[in-house]
Amino acid sequence: MSCHRSDVVGCAQPSERSARRIAQPIPSVLASDATPRCASMASADRQMIGDATLAMNHAWVEPVIATLGLTLVTVLARSFFMLSERELPLPGWLRRGFKYAPLAALTAVIAPEILMTQGAPITTLLDARLPAVLCASAYYFWRRGILGTIVAGMSVYLPLHMVWGW
């Protein structure tokens, strides 16, 4: 292999005369038959690959620590009320408030999905979600059925979004 006619200065490329060798895979710069000028580049490449490998070997540590920490916090939070041998007395106002927790959680998940796009409030009325929510809400207050509410909302949302591009 020669060091002339290279896209990268100093890297060996096959000459035009060796058509047989072009059909074969080109030896990498890291090969042992590289020229002395390319050998220093190969050494630098090996160092870079070694540094990347070292960094990748420890990349798993943070996600594992985060997962274990979140698991511990979740288990403690969910088992806190079961650790006591007797029932913990809750004030009446807190017991009444717990009745609304599922509704509050559902609202916290659904409202941003309806009223926002990519973290910003909707700025146009030509959004398929708005008429779909109005129709689904109207159906729910009329019939009080969950499945019909979903069907009503989706039957408005899908044509507006997929056919008219709202």
Tell me the pLDDT tens digit for each residue of 53-71.
555 677 889 999 999 999 9
Q: Which pLDDT score is estimated for 42?
A: 61
The pTM for the full model equals 0.46
**For 19-37, what is each residue's pLDDT tens digit?**
455 555 555 544 444 455 5
Residue type, 19: A
Round to whole Å and give the CA distance between 81 and 61.
32
Residue tagged 């409202």 (tokens): 111
Structure tokens at 146: 């969950």
Highest mean pLDDT among 34-43, 67-76, 116-125: 67-76
Predicted pLDDT at 161: 93
Which residue did the predictor score with more confidence, 99 or 57?
Answer: 99
Q: How far is CA 120 from CA 39, 113, 115, in A?
A: 54, 11, 9
Give me the residue spans of the domains in the chain: 1-88
- Locus of tokens 């050494």: 43
- Helix axis angle for 129-143 and 146-158, nearest 10°, is 150
Mean pLDDT of 27-51: 56
Burial class (CB in 10 A: 0-12, 13-18, 19+), 113: exposed
Q: What is the mean pLDDT of residues 98-102?
A: 92
Mean pLDDT of 135-153: 96
